[in-house]
A and B are shown apart, each in its own frame.
Chain A
Amino acid sequence: MSEKENAPAAAPAKGEVPVSRERARQGRRKVLRTILLTGGVLGAGLSGYLPLVYARTSRLRPPGALDEKDFLSSCIKCGQCVQVCPVNAIKLADLIDGFGVGVPYIDARAQACDFSCDAVQCILACPTGSLTYHKPDFLPVREGAELSQKPTLIAKMNDPEPTLNMTERMGVARLTRPESCLAMKGEGFKGQARGPDFKGTMRYIKVDRWKPIPVADHPYDLPLCDLCMRECPIAGAISLEKFTGPDGQTRARPIVHENCVGCGVCEMICPTEPASITIIPREVWKS
């Protein structure tokens, strides 16, 4: 061991190199290190482009979000929207979202926005206008993104002002897997909508208007499953159209209407795995 340590000492002493040449070498090394750090930091910064290039899954954004590009550029990544949400529907994106690091999104299947706050508090909390009640004039509104009327919140039906201050939808609900839909199969549903381990919460107006409770604490017993329509917080957004199946049994088809704001409650509550009804983020209404 000690021999090995002594080995470098046997090499010619450094002092033999003229000082100026040594200094020049150090200077060159410093330039190289500077280039290394430049490359590292810029590489890390621009790696944020990769997920965009690969067009990763598009995220559902909180209510009132600007169009994706503007949303990403204007969000200051502070999470104030996260803090005001009573059901903790809003999460902040991680590294895999590229330039979306720290930007809010909603995973509706895990926890949808059910407007338990009775308003759209996240919009009020946003300091940069990434979430906004009304888009500034210079930002275009995509056709079909605009809501034809202010959405009425069923929970607030008896209030003097029952509507939500939203002008654009977050997305649109679609029956993406009709073959697995219980109503389409004419089946009922009994028990906890998402099983006993599901952590998601929701406000049940008949239980407590002000306090959301776990979905697992609110079991159902339905002869024909109508959970998406039953729990939809927006008036006139989903209806069930009854029809008779080939076996003569009564079945129902969930129909999404123009009032749908894309909040995701139907996706969260749907008892099939995976959900039969899902939100298409930033989808527009096509009549």
Chain B
Amino acid sequence: MSKLLTRRYIDQIKAMFGKEPAKPTEISPAAQKIHFYKKNNRDEIGELKHRRAHEKPSHKWRNRRWATLIFANLLFVFSYWLDIQVLEGALTASRFVGFHMADLNSALQVMLAHKHIITNLLIGTATVLLLWALLGGRTFCSWVCPYHLVAEWAEKIHLYLAKKKLVTDQPIDRRLRTVFWIVFAVLAVVTGYTVFEAISPTGILSRALIYGAGLSLLWVVALLVFEIFFSRRAWCRYACPIGLTYGVVGILSPVRIKYKLEGCFHEGDCRKVCLVPHVLETVIKGRAVEPEVALGPDCTRCGLCVDTCPTGSLSFEVKGLSKLL
């Protein structure tokens, strides 16, 4: 990785904790050449092709992702209902064909509150840590977390209402998520209760699916109402400590979205569909520091930007593997 890319990636790690990404101060000659060339050339055939692609938006990655998310959650449900025992437990902790798995944030909360770690919990945590370090950290959010799916549907309602000018998105300070992460960690240590687990919509929804609905779903509904009428995707963007935990785990992950500067028209459609637009800061005209840039660790690898990009400038990449293939 070039020095410029490393610098940018560190900037993106800071962005994950809530800092607004800075404009690059230095751009590589290769990237500068492309930026310059774009300014002075209009490719009419390219634009025609591009317009045509806009008319047929793809849902390839979204469909794959929804299928995976629903499959994973149904595997929990049917393991219990039909007693097939493949994935027993809930998202907070489970056994996959007998092998322990523990959600990283839940496990952390338990360790901090109880201050004692038993072997099974350690095995489960280590397994899941390795799994998501390989698969991309916040990949958990968009490919597994059930709240992410219902929040995506709520987002559609929000965007519809926003189009009708009935609601407007009210952004909130992104540093809040880091504050919540620290506050809930401290609360767990000080009170001795897993305070966050009581309000985690991920855990609540996962248990509701498997063991039946309860009153705690009201909290999930309240969050969705807030997101529909007040602030777009507020929980996932500004509050959820689980997202930050997995984001940190994914910092060095080989699975990521890669941006290619050359074909990009800088229209920003990708930023409009993105849950975490600050990771796509690099697609803004004149900001890419190299011809190819990997998105930051806060990216949930949901693929919405890949689907929406009419020029194929954004794509999934597995570091190392792509070179082998």
Q: Which A positions have Cβ atoms within 8 angstroms of B?
A: 29-31, 33-34, 37-38, 40-42, 44-46, 48, 69-70, 72-80, 82-83, 92, 94-96, 98-99, 101-102, 125, 127-129, 136, 138
A83 in contact with B193 (CB, 8 Å):
no
Interface residues of B in 214-246 (CB under 8 A from A): 214-216, 218-219, 226, 231, 234, 238-239
CB distance from A29 to the nearest CB of B (A): 8
- A44 pairs with B113, CB closer than 8 A: no
CA distance A33 to B239 in the complex (A): 12
Binds A, one of B102-110, B294-302, B305-313: B102-110
Q: Which residue of chain A is the closest to B195 with respect to CB atoms?
A: A45
Question: Using a CB-CB cutoff of 8 Å, which residues 171-208 of chain B contact chain A?
Answer: 171-173, 176, 179-180, 183-184, 187, 192-199, 203-204, 207
Bound complex: CA A101 to CA B92 (Å): 13
Contact of B118 among A30, A101, A128 (CB under 8 A): A128
Contact assessment for B172 and A78 in the assembled complex, using a CB-CB cutoff below 8 Å: no
Count chain B residues whose beta carbon lies closer than 8 angstroms to a beta carbon of A. 56
A77–B193 touching, CB < 8 Å:
no
- Asked whether A76 lies within 8 Å of B192 as measured between CB atoms, the reply is no
Q: Which residue of B lies closest to A128 (CB)?
A: B121
CA distance A83 to B259 in the complex (A): 45
Q: Any chain A CB within 8 A of the CB of B68?
A: no
Interface pair A76/B116, CB less than 8 Å apart:
no
B112 to chain A, nearest CB (A): 9
- Tell me whether A30 and B171 are in contact (CB under 8 A): yes
CB-CB under 8 A for A96 and B110, given A37-B234, A45-B184, A127-B102: no
Contact of B218 among A41, A69, A77, A95 (CB under 8 A): A95
- The contact sample of 10 A-B pairs, CB cut-off 8 A, is A41-B180, A44-B199, A45-B196, A48-B199, A70-B114, A72-B193, A73-B114, A77-B207, A78-B90, A99-B193
Separation of A98 and B314 alpha carbons in the complex (Å): 45
Question: Which of B120, B173, B196, B199 contacts A127, CB < 8 Å?
Answer: B120
Say whether A38 contacts B176, CB under 8 Å.
yes
Report B-chain residues with C-beta under 8 Å of the C-beta of A92: 207, 211, 214
Quick check: B216 and A76 within 8 Å, CB to CB? Answer: no
Q: Is B303 an interface residue (CB 8 A)?
A: no
Residues in A with CB closer than 8 Å to B107 are 76
Cβ of A101 and Cβ of B198 under 8 Å apart? yes
Report B-chain residues with C-beta under 8 Å of the C-beta of A95.
214-216, 218-219
Q: How far is the CB of A102 from chain B (nearest CB, A)?
A: 5
A105 CB to closest chain B CB, in angstroms?
Answer: 13
Q: Taking the complex as formed, is B260 at the interface, i.e. its CB lies under 8 A from any CB of chain A?
A: no
**Does B129 sit at the interface, judged by CB under 8 A?**
no
Q: Shortest distance in angstroms between A148's beta carbon and chain B's nearest beta carbon? A: 27
* Known A46-B195, A99-B194: A77·B92 in contact at CB below 8 Å: yes
Residue in A34, A80, A138 whose CB lies within 8 Å of B176: A34
Query: Known: A78-B94, A79-B210, A127-B100. Is A102-B203 also a contact (CB below 8 A)?
Result: yes
A127 touches B124 (CB 8 A): yes
| A113 CA to B91 CA, complexed, in Å | 26
A79 — which chain B residues lie within 8 A by C-beta?
89-90, 207, 210-211
Least Cβ distance of A267 to chain B in Å? 23
Closest to B101 in A: A127
B193 near A48 with CB under 8 A, answer: yes
Interchain CB contact under 8 A, A127 and B183: no
Given the known inter-chain contacts A78-B94, A99-B193, please indicate yes or no for A42 contacting B183, CB distance below 8 A: yes
Whole-angstrom distance between the Cβ of A94 and the nearest chain B Cβ: 4
Q: Are A33 and B89 in contact (CB under 8 A)?
A: no
Contact of A74 among B91, B110, B172 (CB under 8 A): B110
**Which A-B residue pairs are the 10 nearest by beta carbons?**
A78-B93, A73-B113, A94-B214, A74-B114, A95-B215, A129-B118, A78-B89, A99-B193, A34-B173, A48-B198
Q: How far is the CA of A76 from the CA of B128 in the complex (A)?
A: 15
A125 proximity list for chain B (CB < 8 A):
88
How would residues 274 to 308 of chain B score, 1 for a CB under 8 Å from any chain A CB and 0 otherwise? Answer: 00000000000000000000000000000000000
Bound complex: CA A73 to CA B98 (Å): 24
Q: B84 CB to closest chain A CB, in angstroms?
A: 11
The answer on a CB contact under 8 Å between B113 and A128 is no
Q: Using known A-B contacts A127-B124, A128-B120, determine if residue A76 contacts B218 with beta carbons closer than 8 Å.
A: no
A80 touches B95 (CB 8 A): yes
Given A99-B194, A99-B195, A127-B124: A74 and B113 within 8 A (CB)?
yes
Tell whether, in the assembled complex, residue B215 and residue A73 are in contact, meaning their CB atoms are under 8 Å apart. Answer: no
| Structural contact, A128 and B110, CB atoms closer than 8 A | yes
Q: For residue A121, give the distance in angstroms from its CB to the closest CB of chain B.
A: 12
List residues of chain A with CB within 8 A of the CB of B95: 80, 127
Q: A41-B180, A78-B93, A99-B197 are known contacts; what are 14 more A-B pairs with Cβ within 8 Å? A: A37-B172, A45-B195, A48-B193, A72-B192, A77-B106, A78-B92, A82-B211, A96-B215, A99-B195, A102-B203, A102-B204, A127-B95, A128-B121, A129-B120
